[in-house]
A and B are shown apart, each in its own frame.
Chain A
C-alpha cells in the first residue's frame, strides 16, 4: 500500500464514499451513491468531511440496529475509504442512528445528483 507521505500532495480529507439505501414506504432500492470527495466542489467536500468527523464515523460499530424497528424507515449501508487506506463500513437503521450520523447519511444521499 502506498501511503500519503509517499504521494506527496495528499489531502487527508479526500474520501471515497459508497452509500446503499433500502426500505422506506416505497420499498425502492435505488442505485448506490458513490462519491469521491476529490471530485466534489471544495465547499461540498469540506461539508462532507465535517459531517464524517461530527458523526465520529470511524469509531462507530459496524452495525447500528434498532431494537424495535419503526415501520417504513430507511436502512443504510455506508462505506468510507480514506486515502491512506483507512476504511470503515457501517450498516444502520435510520431510527437508531445519532443525529450526526443521520445528517451525514442524508447529505451523502442527496449528493447523488453531483456524481
Chain B
C-alpha cells in the first residue's frame, strides 16, 4: 500500500533528517550518523519535534534516541510531554466517532457510530465515517502522519447541523456538516475532497498554524484544497492527467450551473450561475482580490497557490502526492509560520524541493516555474 516502497521511504527520511538538523541547529549534516540511536549531539527538543513531526521511520529513531538518552542520563523530563498521548494509540489505528445533531447546533450531538461499528442507515453518517477514514489513511500511508495532530487524535464528526445548513467546517476540534438546502447545495458529507479539506484545516492548525486572514488565510484554504484534491486522487488512483482537479464536484443541487466549488486546474471556471454568481477565483497575482469580506478573500485568493500546486504536479507527472504533495507537506510542517505570505510559500516550497530532490533538480525547477507563472515569483 505504501506508494514509496520501503527503501525509498527510508532514503527520504534521511534526507529530511539532514534538512531538519540543518535548519534547526545549523550543524553540518554529514557529522550526524542518521541511523545511530545515540545521537546525543541533537538537542532533546529537536528529537521531541522529530518524534512527533518527522516521517514515520524517523519518528521511531528519534523516540529510541530519546529513550536511550533518558536511560543514560536519568533525565525523565526529556520524555515529559510525550507520554501516553503519543503512544496510547498505535500508528495506523483510527478513532472515528460520528454524532447526529438532529438539526440542533449544540455540539457534538448524539453518538451514532463509533470505530468499527456497523453501517448506519443514514448516508450522512456513513459518508462522514468513510471519507474521514480515507483521509486519515491517506495522511498515514503517504506522509506517515498519525491523524490530524500526528498523535492519534480522535476524528469526531457531527452531521445534520441546524436545518438546511449550507456549510461544513472544522471548529478546531472536530468536523461539522450541514444537510444543504437542496436548492443550492446537497449534503456536505457527499464529497471526499470536502471532508479531506476540513481535516486538512486540522493538520494546518497543528503544523504551520496559518492565521485565517489575508494571504496566510488564503494559504490555509489552499493547503486544504490541495490535500483534499490529493485525497480524492489517491483514493481513485488517478494520475495528474486523469484527475479533474475540482473541489466539491457534485455538491451543487440539481439545476445549479456549475461543476464544482473550485478548480485547481482553471481557477475561476468552476461555476457560473444566475442564482449564485460566478466563480471569483483568480489564477494569477494580477487578479488578487483585495477586500475585507471572507477574512480578506481567503476562499477567493486561494486560487493562486492552488494553481501553483496544479502546475507543479502536472509538470512532474505521475501521481500528485508522490512529489508535489511531498514538497507541499514538508513546507506546511517544517517551513511556514502563522503569518506566511504567498512569497514565503513560494520560497518555502522551492527550498523543500531543493532539499528533497536537489538544487536545480527538475522538481525544484518545476516549483520555481509554477510560482512564476502565477505571478508570485
A residues with CB within 8 A of B: 22-30, 68-75, 95, 99, 102-103, 106, 110, 113
Contact = CB atoms under 8 A, between A and B. Distances in A.
Interface stretch (B32-40, B168-176, B320-328): B168-176
A25 B171 contact: no
21 contacts: A24-B166, A24-B169, A25-B194, A25-B197, A25-B198, A26-B185, A27-B299, A28-B184, A30-B184, A70-B170, A71-B170, A71-B198, A71-B212, A73-B167, A74-B167, A75-B295, A99-B106, A106-B162, A106-B163, A106-B165, A110-B181
B164 interface: yes
A103 B162 CA distance: 9
Contact of A25 (B164, B261, B277): B261
B150 interface: no
Contacts of A99: 105-106
B65 interface: no
A70 B213 contact: no
Contacts of B224: 71
A71 B201 contact: yes
Given A30-B276, A69-B212, A70-B172, A75 B163 contact: no
Nearest to A109: B166
A57 B184 CA distance: 29
Which of B181, B299, B300 has most A Cβ within 10 Å?
B299
Interface string B247-267: 010010000000001100000
A72 B294 contact: no
A73 B181 CA distance: 17
Interface in B256-302: 261-262, 276-277, 280, 293-295, 298-300
Contacts of B248: 25-26
B215 interface: no
B168 A23 contact: no
Contacts of B184: 28, 30
Contact of B198 (A72, A95, A110): A72
Contacts of A69: 212-213, 217, 295
Interface string B112-126: 000000000000000
A106 B101 CA distance: 15
A8 B40 CA distance: 86
A46 B300 CA distance: 38
A28 B277 contact: yes
A70 B185 contact: no
A26 B172 contact: no
A71 B276 contact: no
Contact of B276 (A22, A28, A103): A28
A73 to B, nearest CB: 5
A28 B106 CA distance: 25
Among B105, B212, B224, residue most surrounded by chain A Cβ atoms (within 10 Å)? B212
Contacts of A110: 163-164, 181
B305 to A, nearest CB: 15
Given A26-B299, A30-B276, A75 B294 contact: yes
Nearest to A77: B293
Contacts of B212: 68-71
A62 to B, nearest CB: 14
Nearest to B177: A25
A23 B201 contact: no
Given A25-B188, A30-B276, A72 B105 contact: no
Contacts of B251: 26
Interface in B167-218: 167-172, 181, 183-185, 188, 194, 197-198, 201, 212-213, 217
Given A71-B212, A71-B220, A72-B198, A25 B168 contact: yes
Contacts of B295: 23, 69, 75
B221 interface: yes
A71 B201 CA distance: 7
A107 to B, nearest CB: 9
